[in-house]
Structure 1
Amino acid sequence: MSDSDVIVPGAPAVPAPGAPATATPEVPAVIPSDVPPAARPPRRLLRAGGATVAAALVGVVIGIGIIEVRYDDPAPATAAPAPATVPTPTATATPFGAKSNGNHFGSLRDLLLPVPAGFGLGPDDSGFGNDVELTGEQMLAAELDQEVLPLPKEQQDKLRKYWNDLHVKAAGVRTYTTQAGELTISMKLRQFNQQEVQKLNEYTAIFTGETGIFRTGPTVPGHAEAHCYLLPAPPSAPIDRLECSAAQGDLLVVMAVEGVAPLPKDRIVALLAQQLDRLAVPGASV
């Protein structure tokens, strides 16, 4: 026997030709050691704004069962035959949704509204990509830099401290565009402390209410927590812009819309309502 062979303990003895079965000692069976191991599933990677993000950051695997059966002794000759079929375990858990306390679980990419009929994935949002989940650090490093650059140094420091104190856990981004390209929508989910999510959403409602800076936007039926407003624009502007904000537990939903004027507000509001329904507490549709 060579060093490249592996002994399997407990293998049956092999009798020599013409000799009694009891006269020959057991000869261990061997298995070549060069049998290739079973292939392991490759790790999935996600690219966000040029950076590669491990899929372990964005995915939750539920309902996979591994059953290992061992036999210490050979089965007797009279053993009953194994059943023809084995029941397959059924996964009953939801891979994403909301807990009873309002905190969401699962990938933010799963929580984002899937691309609806009549739309496709849109352009990259601020260099992040058009369908991506970011860690809190990634979101702050990229998006916050863009927000504070136009501000004086003192205000930049205050805004950075405010966002850092929120301890943002993650952010999900998905963009949608119509086939003709006349309407583009960006949907963002920012996950952090529920109380701060609510405060920030209320601040948005007050700031965009009766200040005279923004135009009043449409309401979202069944979602009083949603606030929409139109950005300043002259009446004859060919392009119009609308933004909406809503609080759902530990998620702040921000929708930004740009399209040919006049915007199809009913269609836009319907998409936002679908997104908020998906984040409903408790649970979410699959």
Structure 2
Amino acid sequence: MTDEQPMSEQPVQERVEELVQEPAPEPAAPESIAPVKKPKKPKKPKKPKKPKKPLRRGRVAAVAGSVLLVAAVLGGAGYTVVTVQDADRDPGAPSWTFPVPAPNDAKTAKTASGLAGMLVPYGTEGWTRGPDIGEFGSDASLSGPEATALRKEALRDLPRSQRRELEKRIDKQRTKGIAMRSYLSTSSGISSTLYADSGFTMSVALAQIEDKAAVKGMSTFQNEFFDALKIFRKGPEIKGYKNAKCFLPPKDKDEKLDMMVCSAYQGDVLVSATAFGAKPLNTKGVAMLLREQLDRIAEPGEAV
């Protein structure tokens, strides 16, 4: 055997010492880390713009809708057509187109008989012919069958089952007729400066129904309905007629027109009235015409 030893047989201890003496490799330089940016504060969301007020479709139209709702529930007995759609609703120029008063208006009204004869005649205290009440014109009378058909027509938007039930009730009540007339509050209304300041229009409808309890119930329901909503202003009292009630829409500074709806009854006659005018509405004038109308029905024999 020779004295030299192969590398593989080098003592383990010597090999370990050599490895320990070898310089350790330098650690790699750490990669540069980009500074963390602070997150940007989220932008505050813009406040949504307040929707612009619709042009003049506000509270007067809401009241008109309430009147039509009541008309449907009551079966159209107080069917005074609220001609909001026919009026000029531009806030800068509230106006209607009025018919020129005919010379014989007062004479024709005074000679009217029956239910129409109870209406306040044109020419009384300066009242003249007003705008059309829907398709009926400014002065119209309907027979019992026509009035019954009109009351049922007011139910057309109700569900079928409810409509049929109310139609049966209308038949049992026996409607004798409806008379309606519209008024302008000054005798020279078209050219009068007084009209420009305080004039108004008013439509009055009389529905004569054989069932007096139904007449009382319908008027009471309408008045309690408006009172229960708590948003309508109460109109003036009608002296001598506790069952007569009037209501106006809530105050709104942007409204140029105002309106007032009234309901009352005398015996078998249901009285419905609707007035329109520039602000401030002459509510005393409306009350005066309504009282005069009730006086005419209250006279002995007038409501028979």
Question: Matches of 2:217 and 2:176 in 1, distance apart?
Answer: 17
What is the aligned length?
181
Match of 1:120 in 2: 128
Partner residue of 2:278?
260
Q: Which structure has more strand as a fraction of its residues?
A: 1
Contact 1:126/1:143, CA 8 A, preserved across alignment = no
The residue that corresponds to 1:129 in the other structure is: 137
Question: C-alpha offsets along residues 256-281 of structure 1, whole Å, 9 cap, x if unaligned?
Answer: 11111221011110111111111115
The aligned residue for residue 246 of structure 2 is 228
The 1:154/1:268 distance shift into structure 2, 3 A limit, reads: same
Identity %: 32
SS of the aligned residue for 2:262 comes to strand
> Which structure 2 residues correspond to residues 1-286 of structure 1 after superposition, within 5 A?
107-115=114-122, 116-142=124-150, 144-145=152-153, 147-178=154-185, 179-180=189-190, 182-192=199-209, 193-231=211-249, 234-284=252-302
Contact 2:147 2:176 in 1 (8 A): no
Write out per-residue CA displacement over residues 32-55 of structure 1, whole angstroms, 9 at most, x where no aligned residue: xxxxxxxxxxxxxxxxxxxxxxxx
- 1:112-159 Cα distance to aligned partner (Å, 9 max, x none): 1112233311122121222222112212323542x3344344443344
List alignment gaps of at least 5 residues for structure 1: 1-94, 97-105
Contact 2:235 2:260 in 1 (8 A): yes
Displaced runs of 4 or more, over 6 A:
none
Distance 1:171 1:259, change over 3 A: same
Q: Which shows bigger deviation, 198-207 or 263-272?
A: 198-207
Residues 264 and 272 in structure 2, CA contact (< 8 A), matched pair in contact too: yes
CA distance in 2, matches of 1:161, 1:122: 35
| CA-based RMSD | 2.5
Residues 144, 260 of structure 1: CA spacing in aligned structure 2 closer, same or farther, 3 A cutoff? farther
Using the alignment, how far apart are the partners of 1:207 and 1:140 within structure 2? 23
CA distance in 2, matches of 1:282, 1:173: 21
Give the TM-score normalised by structure 2: 0.54
Match of 1:133, as an amino acid?
S
Q: Which segment drifts farther, 263-272 or 124-133?
A: 124-133
Higher helix share: 2
